[in-house]
Structure 1
Amino acid sequence: MDMDKVRDEILEATLPNVVFDGWSMASLRDGAQQAGYDAGTLHRAFPGGVTELVEHFGAWTDRRMLERLDAMGLADMRVTDRIRHAVRAHFAVLELHREAKRRLIAHLAMPQNVGMGLRMLYRTVDAMWFAAGDDSTDFNHYSKRALLAAVLSATTLYWLDDQSEDHEDTWSFLDRRLADVMGVGKAMSRMGGLGRVLWAMPNPVRFARQLRQRTASAQAGNATTHMAENI
């Protein structure tokens, strides 16, 4: 039995259930049954339960994103354009699972899950930079990922509630944020210093608190835009 294939099939069958039951064992058990697997196979596929399912969703999303980027051919693009395509490919993979992603953000905003969420975010931006051809091993390796993490976090919040046609408002927002961080990156390259990188990153505590507040209250339609603009 190809366990990677089994995990993918269970995950894909589980995602629609997450909309109603959240990232829970109920969603996972129903997803395994709908994918045609028994309880024993489910346990072998995800011995860590929901936590392992969430981690697999992050890895699954990254793999699908990289597949899309491989098909595009990024070699002749500027680095900024490669990153832009990577971020858009990330959201293209998530397009059919927006509500599951929304529930995941609320799940990862819980205090006990913040660390896992930050690890998943790092793996995603690392995959994006790898696809963009980044091979730095010095301090720039980390500063680039820190800045992109800030962009991706804010853009995710914007994208979740964007009702514009073909997400044009989200792509405009993404372009603005990329322009901002490119300016920050140039300034940091001149000044250096870890403190300036940390200054440019989103505050994880504030980010988690805002997500919990957003989940707990029904905000107006432009709430995501407002919050994303200020992260």
Structure 2
Amino acid sequence: MQEAEARQKLVAAALPHVAFDGWTAATFRAAVADSGVTPALAVALFPRGGTDLALAYHAAGDAAMVAALAAEDLSALRFRDRIARAVLIRLSLADREAVRRGTTLFALPHLAADGARALWSTADAIWTALGDSADDVNWYTKRATLSAVYGATVLFWLGDDSPDQQATRDFLDRRIEGVMRFEKLKADTAANPLGKVLLAGPMALLGRIRPPGPRDGLPGRRAPRPF
């Protein structure tokens, strides 16, 4: 059995157990038993058991979102609406209970960094899919801002029982509107003569920052093994 196939089988086999046991060792053992993947291969692919299964599930959702975005024509939408559409697609592809259990898991202090990287990866996948060409500090600020927006929206979505999840859509629109106001303030400040003087030094320093190259282990560029 190929590694990619084994990964896919293990994640799929884990999902029915996550609602009851979370992303735990018990779920990992059940996934191994149900998937037909040998225990040795399963441990080699997911050395941290349920934790790595949760991260693989998240990465698979990002990949599915990118594929869905590629199949849509977003040219008629404003850019802010394209971002909102990407976030809503990402949520529509997720199992709410699996995400709820994952949110609980990555709230643990020793796994918080893994959770932050997962959010960053989603934000990076969205910006990249939408054709972001930033090659300076904006590469980082865009992803940091969207990570915060996405993370807050996920938490709201987990408790949203409104028809067609309209409350989540409204919440997301408000978060994006807040970001747009902040970006306008930055632009207005940079265009102001006094602002130009005050920002000259910081902007000269920030202008030297470049996005990371396509190497594993760097923010937004950590490529999980594909299924």
| TM-score for the superposition, normalised by structure 2 | 0.79
Match runs of 1:114-133 below 5 Å: 114-133=112-131
Q: What is the aligned-residue RMSD (CA, Å)?
A: 1.7
Which structure: larger Rg?
Answer: 2
Q: Secondary structure at the match of 1:177?
A: helix
Q: Which has the larger helix fraction? A: 1
2:27 and 2:50 in contact (8 A); partners too: no
- Which residue does 2:37 correspond to in 1? 37
Q: 1-side partners of 2:63 and 2:14: how far apart?
A: 18
Q: 2-side partners of 1:88 and 1:187: how far apart?
A: 27
Task: For residues 149-182 of structure 1, give each alpha carbon's deviation from its aligned partner in whole angstroms, at most 9, with x where no partner exists.
Answer: 1211111111001111110111011111111111
Q: 1-side partners of 2:189 and 2:19: how far apart?
A: 46
Q: Identify if the C-alpha distance between structure 1 residues 26 and 137 changes in structure 2 by more than 3 Å, giving closer, same or farther.
A: same
Match runs of 1:24-173 below 5 Å: 24-94=24-94, 97-173=95-171
- Report 1 or 2 for greater relative contact order, CA contacts < 8 Å, sequence distance ≥ 6: 2
Task: For residues 113-146 of structure 1, give each alpha carbon's deviation from its aligned partner in whole angstroms, at most 9, with x where no partner exists.
Answer: 1111111111110101111111101111111112
1:9 and 1:35 in contact (8 A); partners too: yes
1:19 and 1:103 in contact (8 A); partners too: yes
Structure 2: state its 5+ residue gaps. 191-198, 203-227
1:16 and 1:100 in contact (8 A); partners too: no
Aligned length: 192
Q: 1-side partners of 2:187 and 2:103: how far apart?
A: 32
Identity of aligned residues (%): 38
What amino acid does structure 2 have at the position aligned with 1:87?
Answer: V
